Each structure stands twice: as structure tokens, then as C-alpha cells.
A and B are shown apart, each in its own frame.
Chain A
């Protein structure tokens, strides 16, 4: 991130609650739960009153929601509707899916999203923000391999398939 001089690492769970509902629970470094439901985001932190804002104010979340729900529910139509899709690699082995938001407003904040996978599992989700910031979600077993002092390069290497 440009405002920071080193990467920010958080860990937790991302859960699809069905429909358009997504829950993002962060366990480390600070406990926080964010719920996306009905176009609104509710953010809760220990000892603080919950904060609400509209999904349209957080384009990254909109993208995350669209791509996640579409991927998890296998709704190709929805994916097509929200993104321009580019596929790379071998669908049976290591593959890469690049999603570019179609909505100009969203694209102003989120340049694109890249999902790295391996056969039937997704390993990584990388969100390239328009201002140059990059968020990398390491999914499933890969999450455990998060290095103590991550660098952008090291993480990219992890995602792209050093098994």
C-alpha cells in the first residue's frame, strides 16, 4: 500500500452466507467482523459500536462480492455481467483467471482481480487497485504459508504455484 512502508497482513475467514451475503471475519491482528448484506456493509470491532456504510462506497467489496459469489455459486453469467474475463494457463493444472470490472465507477478504484488456481481449488485472489495498491488473499491451505515478512514478490511467487 502506498500509504504504508510495508505490507499489511491480516488473517481470518471469508464466508459466503448464500445469496448476496458475505462475511469477512478477521482474527489477527485485531478482531473484526464485516458483513455485506443487501447492499450495505456492517463493520464491527470489539468494544466499538458497529459502523454501516453503503456497498457502493466500497468498490473493492463490490468486486469481491461479485467475483466470490459468482465463483462459489458457479454463476458464469453473473461473472460475465460484472467482468471482462481472461483465462490463462491449463484448466486442469495451474491456471489464472483475470477479471476486469465492466463498471467504469468500480474500475476507477479496482483495476482488476486475478485468481490463481490449481485444478479445482483456488489458491490466491489478487486485487489490483487503481492507485497501485495490491491486496493478495491467500486462500485455503496456502494461508498457512504466509511468510512473517512478506514482500509483494514473494507472495506472487507463492500464488503462481511453487507447490
Chain B
């Protein structure tokens, strides 16, 4: 049931604070959903880029070797042939992806007369700007026809001959030029090529850029289509773009977490076997945490329609606390005593720990952030289930005969050592001063707002992205020009008004290109104005006849032209709904959207050189034209998110103090528990800051986990049973807990991916500091005071 209903969302956005203004909502969508972030950049190159290094003979596919051999030939003919192969692959890929619902646009530079379906061809007179400045009169037609005559004797003849009768003024070509990206790569063999001899393609996915699963599907679809093409064996297909990166980052993180997880699991098992010398105890000790995880997930599926991937990742991290429960029980078993009795003795303390953690996490639920609410539900349910299954399930399943760890000789010595440690009263003061000093002098900014910095991309991948983006003139993923109006037509009208200013900016090199929605579809009003300027059949016929005088064209040749103009006069103006049927309709749909009762248009920007000039575009628009900086805005969202976490933490701390004080019924005892925990937490922060680490959300979550573990250490060390054997068992349990935490998180600290390292380092440092401080600040036992 659980696995069927659990819908894990990998979309980063649902883990952000709920947006409150329309702009923030737009931002949340655009962070992963904007036209720019949905672009995949594709490069098809020959498989052997380095001719000096032939592929190992045993591995090379015969076809691959053949094509590489051709590619390395120095002759022009060899290079040309290879270009032709790559171009054929590029065309084949476009053909294969065309019409696939996963892709809203596939471009490879090939000039496509089919951009307008034949039925919509008469619309060219409403879409092309020609009529704005130029009526279809005799002088214009005569000039155009003379040019066509020159074309016929020119090398372009075969391109234009078919078009001539229907479209003597070449409006279709004007539209095709208008719709190709402003800055196009070099065309070879009819398709885009980079200076590095790769065939280039642009694919806009239907899925959001930061939805790694959907992007994975889109990328798999492209790769699959490519692999089905004849002749693909000699070439390789490379991807770039935000969607591809989200897939790569996800896979890398998972891969590293997996192998680290495997190693530390083995270490953990060995550690528990050494500590308890019982296989059945080991197996059973997995019961609470396993049931906690299942119960947590089940609770999530019941309460929320969609569970965020990060919730699960954070949640499983925080559930690590629950591993302490069985360890405590195992260490505190006495020889001959049955497990239910041992648990009963420990239960008040365990229950205090569980309850305080749960009450603290309630603050997360109150934060109002969906991801944090999910985290709270998951961990609270998980910890309760782990606690109660330890108390009522595990205790009944554990074998009766066990070894009492209190009899171990090394443990007695260790306990002696711990008891004899000096515990000066000034330790908290010194530690607190050290923390303040370190925080004050630590280098760099305190907070890390850029979530992407935690999952960085390999440098070569970034360089390739920059290179392809530059070659393709692909829009920037950072900036968007937002146009707002009450209607769809209003947005298009605003876009038309803006066009001259935008052209001026491009001319001033403030920006390389800025693509507005009206580039693809003019307003109904403008289309109607153009329609008004179209002459009726009789007058067009007479203008044409005059224009044709002295030219060798067959007199009846241009009937299709006359028909199309007549049709265009009667057409209902093209609306976005009608436009969706065209291949470019999806392109426009990505640029127009309805939000909160008004319409928004998105202008994509490439090559920003002067941000201020772009911002000035919206200066006197009353907020209807705005430049959205997605990077700044997403960083401010992360900061807002962190503020919520910190507020939740503050409330959680207050609740924790109250719970512990109430449970122990003594302010002094509560101090012995809470002071080392608080100091250790801040000590971790201070040490990490001294190491130059900027604190991110992941550090905060890891600090909370470490705090949870530290609470256990302090609670158990503070407990005074007056029984030296029991004190030894407490030390044993704590040492096993500390070692297992160090093993698991210490391994993570060696990861190369910063997000894993952040969690690993923070928890390891935390565990170490909590352990030391809770020993040094624990009250002396009666045994040693006597």
C-alpha cells in the first residue's frame, strides 16, 4: 500500500517556502519551469575527437572505427563527408522527436518551410510585418518581381522556384528568419554546427528543468531516438542545460551516497557484532528503525498528496537518532534479567528523549513550509514508532540469555578514567568564550544561500555548457523579462509596444537578444490592421498586372498568390488557441500564462551585458514590465526558508527546555542536560565557520540531528543510579552510539559532494563535541565523590 501510494516529488520547488505574492509564485514556477530552464542543448560529434589516440582495437565497434578513420583523414572530402553524416543524424533526430509530447520544440537550424502548416499559410500576411510599412502595390510588387527574376538566375533558384507562384514577396522566408533564434550558429549541410565540428540542436522539454525524473525521461527519449538512427554508431550525443544538470547531480549524489552507505553499513554491523557478540541481537536491533521508516512514509502518504525527495533525505537523516534506542536497550541488559525488565528501567529516560525530540519537531510543523511540515510528520511518527517498538516489540523478541556488558574489564577501566576526569566549573565559560571568539573572527559570509553550490557540477561540464550556449545563442537561465496585463491580447500588445525599445537595447549591445512573445504572434488588433491593408482581388490583380509589365513571368503564374491574399482578407485573426496547432505554438505557450486573474508574458534574454539598461525597460510601466533575476530571487527564497527554520528552531529550543525541566523536575538537572548540548551545537557552528564553511540548510538539519544525539548522551550521563555497574552500562551504550554515528557520518564527511560532506562533517563534529562536553559537564557520580 505504502509503495503504491507514495509519490515522491523530486521537484526542488515544493521544498521552498510557500510563495505569497504573484511574483514569487511566478518565480517558483520559473526557477524550473521557464522557457530557458527547459532547454536542453545537444551536440552530436564524431566518436573519436582525438585522432592521435586510436580507440583500443578490441573495444571499437567496426562501424565506429570506420567513421573515425574517415574523420581523421586530412582531406576536405573526408571532413565534408563526416559533416554530412552528422547533419543527417541531426535531421534524423529532429524527425524522430517531432510530434513527441515530451518536447515542445526541437530546433537544429534547418530552414523549415513547414513551420506553418499549409492550411495556415495564408496567415503569413497577418504575421509578417511587411504590410506595416509596405502596401502590396504596383511599385513594391514590381521591385519584388524583379528581385525574384534575379533569384531565378542565381544559385538560390531551386530554393525559390517552388515558392514563387504562391509567395512572390517571400513572406514565408521573412517569417522563418524572424522565428529562428536571433544569434544562430554556423550552418553546414543545412544544420547548425559549432566551431568544434559538432552538429548542434536545441530541445525544449515539456517538463520543468528542476524535475530530475521527468528530465531523465526526456533525455532517455532523446538518447533512445538517437540510438535508433542509422549511422549513430560512429557518433556520440552529448547533453547540456539545466535539466541535464539536475539529472547528473541527482545521479552523482545518489551514487556517492550509495557506496559510502554500503561501506559504513558493513562497519556498523561489525561494530555491533563486536559490542554485543550476538547475531540475533544485531538483526533485531534493526527492527525499530525499519518500522520507524515504514511508519513515517505511511504517515506521509496519508497526510500529503506528494512527498518531497528532500523530505525523505532529511527525514532518514534525522531518524538516525532512533538507532540509539535499541543500542541503549542492548547495553543496559543485565545477565539473567529479561529484556522487558531492562527496558522498563530505561523507559522513563528514553521516553523523555523521544518526547522532547517530538515536541521540538512540532515547531517544524508550525513553520508553514510544506517541506518542513512533511519532515515533522515523518520524524515525529518515525521516532514514536521506533520508541514504542523498542519498548513493546523488541523487548519481547530479544533472547533471554545475554552477556552483561558491565562485566567487561576494559569498560570498568574506561569508566574509572571518565570518573576521574577533572570537571572544572569554568569549562562552560571557556567554551562559550571560545565559540564567540571563533564566530567573530571567522572568514567569509556566514550563510550559504546558493543551494546549487552544495551540488556543484564538474568544471568541464560547465565549460561545455557555456560553449554550447554561446554557440547556440541559447537564452540565459538567469534573467526573464516579465510582462503583465489583464488579458492575453494585452500582454501581446505590451510586447509589441516594447519591441522598438528592445531593438534599441540590442543595437546598443546591452543584450545579445531578447525574444518577446509578439515575435511569434502579433495581437489581434495588429493582424486586423494588416488585414485592412490587403487589397481586394480585383485591385491586387490590376497592380500585379502593371508590375508584371516588361517582366518575363508567365501571366497566370501568380494565381496561388492572388488566392492566398484573398483568403487572408477573410481569415479570423490567429489567436494563441489556434496557434497551438502549429509547431511554434508550444513555443508561444511557454511564453504566455495566466496567473491570479491576469496574464503574464515572458521574454527570454540571452547575453546580458547591461543589467541596468534591461531593468530600465520597466521603469515607467507601473510594474507591468519587470526584469526577474532568478538567481537573486531564488537566493532570497532560500534565505526566507532559513529564517523559517531558525524560527522553528528557536521555538523548538524553548519547548525542549520546558519538556526537559518538567521531565526531570529540576532546573539544575535540566541545566546539566541542556548546557552541554547547547554549547556543543554552537561549538560545531563555530568550528565549521573557522574552517571557512558557509552554513547552509543542510548544515542546520545536520546540527539538529547531532543535537538529538547529544540530548541522549547528556540525559544518560546526567542520570545517577548510584549503581557503578549501571554507570558502566551507560558508558558502554554511549560509546557504541558515538562510534556508530562517527562511522556512518564520518564516512560521509569524506564524500566529494559538498552536500554529503556538509551533513557528514557536521554530525561527526557534533557527536564528538556532545560526547566530550556531556562527560565533562556531567555531575560527579556518588561513587567517585564518596
Residues on A close to B: CB < 8 A?
Answer: 1-8, 10, 19-20, 24, 26, 29-30, 32, 34, 36, 38-41, 43, 45, 51-61, 109, 129, 131, 133
User: When the two chains form the complex, which single residue of B149, B155, B190 contacts A43, counting CB atoms closer than 8 Å?
Assistant: B155
Q: List 28 A-B contacts (CB under 8 A).
A: A3-B152, A4-B554, A5-B553, A5-B555, A6-B552, A8-B149, A10-B153, A20-B76, A20-B80, A24-B155, A34-B155, A38-B188, A39-B80, A39-B83, A39-B189, A43-B154, A43-B155, A52-B187, A53-B156, A53-B187, A54-B188, A55-B189, A57-B159, A58-B157, A58-B159, A60-B157, A60-B158, A129-B158
How many A-B Cβ pairs are below 8 Å? 84
A36 and B154 alpha carbons, distance in the complex (Å): 12
Residues of chain A with a CB closer than 8 A to B159's CB: 53, 57-58
* With A56-B190, A57-B159, A131-B161 already in contact, 13 other A-B pairs whose C-beta atoms are closer than 8 Å: A3-B165, A3-B557, A4-B149, A32-B154, A34-B154, A40-B187, A41-B156, A51-B156, A52-B187, A53-B111, A58-B159, A60-B158, A129-B158
A133 and B83 alpha carbons, distance in the complex (Å): 31
Interface contact B189-A3, CB-CB below 8 Å: no
Chain B residue at minimal CB-CB distance from A6: B552
Query: In angstroms, how far is the closest chain A Cβ from the Cβ of B151?
Result: 9
Interface contact B554-A30, CB-CB below 8 Å: no
Residues of chain B with a CB closer than 8 A to A109's CB: 158
Known: A8-B552, A19-B76, A39-B83. A57 touches B164 (CB 8 A): no
Query: In angstroms, how far is the closest chain A Cβ from the Cβ of B185?
Result: 12
Query: In angstroms, how far is the closest chain B Cβ from the Cβ of A101?
Result: 13
A111 and B83 alpha carbons, distance in the complex (Å): 26
Chain B residue at minimal CB-CB distance from A65: B155
User: When the two chains form the complex, which single residue of B158, B190, B554 contacts A3, counting CB atoms closer than 8 Å?
Assistant: B554
Interface contact A54-B552, CB-CB below 8 Å: no
Query: In angstroms, how far is the closest chain A Cβ from the Cβ of B634?
Result: 40
B: interface residue count bin: 20 to 34
Query: In angstroms, how far is the closest chain A Cβ from the Cβ of B286?
Result: 65
A10 and B158 alpha carbons, distance in the complex (Å): 17
A19 and B76 alpha carbons, distance in the complex (Å): 8
For B87, B111, B164, B554, which residue has the most chain A Cβ atoms within 10 angstroms? B554
Chain A residue at minimal CB-CB distance from B153: A10
B150 at the interface (CB under 8 A from A): yes
Query: In angstroms, how far is the closest chain B Cβ from the Cβ of A132?
Result: 11
Query: In angstroms, how far is the closest chain B Cβ from the Cβ of A52?
Result: 7
Interface contact B150-A32, CB-CB below 8 Å: yes
Known: A38-B188, A52-B187, A56-B190. A3 touches B80 (CB 8 A): no
Interface contact B156-A58, CB-CB below 8 Å: yes
Known: A53-B159, A60-B155. A45 touches B150 (CB 8 A): yes
A32 and B153 alpha carbons, distance in the complex (Å): 10
Residues of chain B with a CB closer than 8 A to A34's CB: 154-155
Known: A52-B187, A59-B158. A5 touches B83 (CB 8 A): no
Residues of chain B with a CB closer than 8 A to A38's CB: 188
Residues of chain A with a CB closer than 8 A to B156's CB: 41, 43, 51, 53, 58
Residues of chain B with a CB closer than 8 A to A39's CB: 80, 83, 188-189
Known: A10-B153, A34-B155, A43-B156. A4 touches B553 (CB 8 A): yes
Interface contact A36-B155, CB-CB below 8 Å: yes
Query: In angstroms, how far is the closest chain B Cβ from the Cβ of A140?
Result: 20
A124 and B189 alpha carbons, distance in the complex (Å): 30
A36 and B155 alpha carbons, distance in the complex (Å): 9
Chain A residue at minimal CB-CB distance from B84: A56
Query: In angstroms, how far is the closest chain B Cβ from the Cβ of A151?
Result: 13
Interface contact B152-A1, CB-CB below 8 Å: yes
Query: In angstroms, how far is the closest chain A Cβ from the Cβ of B611?
Result: 31
A3 and B159 alpha carbons, distance in the complex (Å): 14
Residues of chain A with a CB closer than 8 A to B157's CB: 58, 60
